[in-house]
Amino acid sequence: MDVVDQAQVSMEQLAALQETTRPARAPGPEPTGYCLNCGDPLADPGRRWCSPECRDDWEWFDAFLH
Ligand SMILES: [Zn+2]
């Protein structure tokens, strides 16, 4: 039985839940009109990502770098 692995999974699940429920207004780069993760043009200039999946990917990579 690996308690550490189980704890990490639940932390990741909690973080994923927070990402999907939190408004996309965390400190970060200004919106450019294009998805910061995949580069797709965005209809709403106030958005920074085309989808929650792209936001999650970008934030994961950003966290990975810092
Ligand atoms: Zn995207």
Q: Name the residue range of residue 35's domain.
A: 30-66
**Alpha carbon of 60 to ligand 1 centroid (Å):** 14
The answer to whether residue 17 is domain-embedded is no
| The predicted structure's pLDDT at residue 32 | 93
For residue 10, pLDDT beyond 90: no
Cα–Cα–Cα angle for 28, 64, 44, rounded to 5 degrees:
35
The answer to whether residue 7 is domain-embedded is no
The answer to whether residue 39 is domain-embedded is yes
Residues 24-65 pLDDT 10s? 555 678 899 999 999 999 998 899 999 999 999 999 988 888
Count of domains forming the chain: 1
| The predicted structure's pLDDT at residue 53 | 97
Residues 36-46 pLDDT 10s? 999 999 998 89
The answer to whether residue 5 is domain-embedded is no
Q: Whose CA is closest to 62, among 7, 33, 24?
A: 24
Q: Label residue 19 exposed, middle or buried (CB < 10 Å: 0-12, 13-18, 19+).
A: middle
| The predicted structure's pLDDT at residue 3 | 67
Could you list which residues have their CB under 5 Å from ion ligand 1?
35, 37-38, 40, 50, 54
